[in-house]
Chains A and B, each alone.
Chain A
Amino acid sequence: MIDLIQNTFNGVMVGSSYALLALGFTLIFGTLHRLNLAYGPTIMAGAYLGTYAFLRLGIGALPVALLVVIGAVLAGLYVERLCFRPFGEGAAMASMISSFAVWMQIEEAATLVLPRHLYAFPPLVKGGPFEFGPFLVRPEHLVMLIVSAAAALIVHGVLNHTRLGLGIRTVIDQPRAAELVGVPVRRVMALAFALASAVGGLAGFLIAASEAQITPMFGMWATTKGLIAMMLGGLGSIPGALLGGLALGVVETHAQALFGPHIRDLIAWGLLFAVLALWPGGLLGWRRVVAAATVERRV
């Protein structure tokens, strides 16, 4: 019983970073209605910038975090300018494939600058796990949970209480109508992309810092984790992204405890398959799918 609670708790803490990854992914998918495969690699570009500065200048975790976020935003804007702005919504395939090309570009560039397979990353906190009643808590996971929750609340605030947030929500909901009420759609898309990259960069920092290391596989890892969490929660649903991230974390942690670490990713993909087969549209996305179908019928 204690193990069950312990693992669930660990899962929620790890899952909070997946939730943040999925949140960024969803902001991009929701506003552009296109898949950005280079999402993980843009985060990796930020993380490599942070690592580089850490190795060269020996700066602490906080300035590294700032650099990771800035690097991710810059790389994100590069992807937006190159893969999304030139194509219309109708050319989803062109955007997706060019984002794949940029993925390879970023990965190659990163390994040119830092060619080894493994680099140290500044740890999130010093000190080992502590006991809390019968439970063992890893402090870096606790920080991850708190920072992720704060970031999600900030994004919620931006979306619901600022003019930019209103613009983003209109573009997510009905892009043609957004244009008609006077939302500068292209600018809002670019800003949403920057916001999503900042959120992703923060998630990337938390994950790399809790592991205290980074590898060139990080880009692909972040894209797949974010993608699975987003699909689990429901494509385009923001609460769904958060829920999907937490669910992924919990399931992975339990699977790892039961069957060992080598089974973790297999379980993640299996979970995605099961949800999509049984519950197309994801945990919170089904209403959206139904609503879209109704609108299409009416038109």
Chain B
Amino acid sequence: MLEVADVSTSYGKIEALKGVSLAAGKERITCLLGPNGAGKTTLMMTIAGILKPRRGSIRLAGEEIAGLPSARIVARGLALVPENRLVFPQMSVSDNLAAGAYQRRDAAVVAEDTERMYARFPRLKERRDQLAGTLSGGEQQMLAVARALMSRPRILLMDEPSLGLAPLVVGEVFRIIADLNRDGATILLVEQNAHMALKVAHHFYLMEQGRVTFSGEPGKLAEDEVIQRAYLGTRRAV
């Protein structure tokens, strides 16, 4: 579904991504692990079109999307649930969902999809007229996911959905991810919580210092080492 090949992104002179390649298969959960500063969020922002890659190719369902404006990328079927959720705090829950469908013109189907979101997330239905900024962290995360789904994405990117949430709520977020995938969603997930992520992922990549350094299936290799490297990075000989 999504193929990233040799992508490099820089902030000024600092190269944050140094030729990253990975692929996210259709109807699978692909997980990207790695320590802080490895470039995971930079990669997500580059795929979503917020940052422009210096070189490399990003293909969505075979079509090149690298360098397109973010609005066009959303229209092509890619949605990102950003780090820290970034709901629209001064807008109601229902307006947040409407904003998620900004690129769509099929009002009737959008209305149906909104009802579908409320059925999947009853808490959002209860709070549909409430300002999103007044929701709890977990509810905001659900809203951010529902908002992204409102664009009917072919692939859903999620950046640290468990960040800053209580352990019980983290469990719920991962249950939602697994449910979405069971219903056919393709997901590329960035997570710090490697334990939980490896439970739902079909495939994972490990990123360190702007490069993909490891890739595999969960459970097949020494999980402890992957988790250790995801949190701490590889210890290098000086």
Q: Which residues of A contact B (CB under 8 A)?
A: 163, 166-167, 169-170, 172-174, 176-184, 288, 291, 294-295, 298-299
Contacts and interface: CB of A to CB of B under 8 A. Distances in A.
A172 B95 CA distance: 14
A166 B95 contact: yes
B101 to A, nearest CB: 8
B88 A173 contact: yes
Interface stretch (B25-33, B79-87, B119-127, B186-194): B79-87
Contacts of A182: 70-71, 73-75, 102-103, 151
B98 A298 contact: no
B99 interface: yes
Contact of B82 (A166, A170, A180, A294): A180
A294 B80 CA distance: 23
A291 B135 CA distance: 12
Interface in B81-114: 82, 84, 86-91, 95, 98-100, 102-103
Contact of B102 (A167, A172, A294, A295): A167
A299 B232 CA distance: 22
| Most chain B beta-carbon contacts within 10 A, residue among A177, A181, A294, A295 | A181
Interface in B157-175: 164
B102 A163 contact: yes
Interface in B107-146: 133
Contacts of A179: 50, 70-71
B160 to A, nearest CB: 12
B99 A183 contact: yes
A175 to B, nearest CB: 10
Contact of A176 (B79, B86, B102): B86
Contacts of A167: 102
B44 to A, nearest CB: 10
A170 B102 CA distance: 10
27 contacts: A166-B102, A169-B88, A169-B95, A169-B99, A170-B91, A170-B102, A173-B91, A174-B86, A174-B87, A174-B88, A176-B50, A176-B86, A179-B50, A179-B70, A180-B80, A181-B103, A181-B147, A181-B151, A182-B73, A182-B75, A183-B71, A183-B102, A184-B71, A291-B89, A291-B133, A295-B133, A298-B84
A295 B89 contact: yes
Given A166-B95, A182-B74, A177 B102 contact: no
A291 B82 contact: no
A52 B73 CA distance: 47
Given A167-B102, A169-B91, A294-B133, 16 more contacts: A166-B98, A166-B102, A173-B90, A177-B86, A177-B87, A177-B88, A179-B70, A181-B74, A181-B79, A181-B102, A181-B151, A182-B71, A182-B75, A183-B102, A184-B69, A291-B90
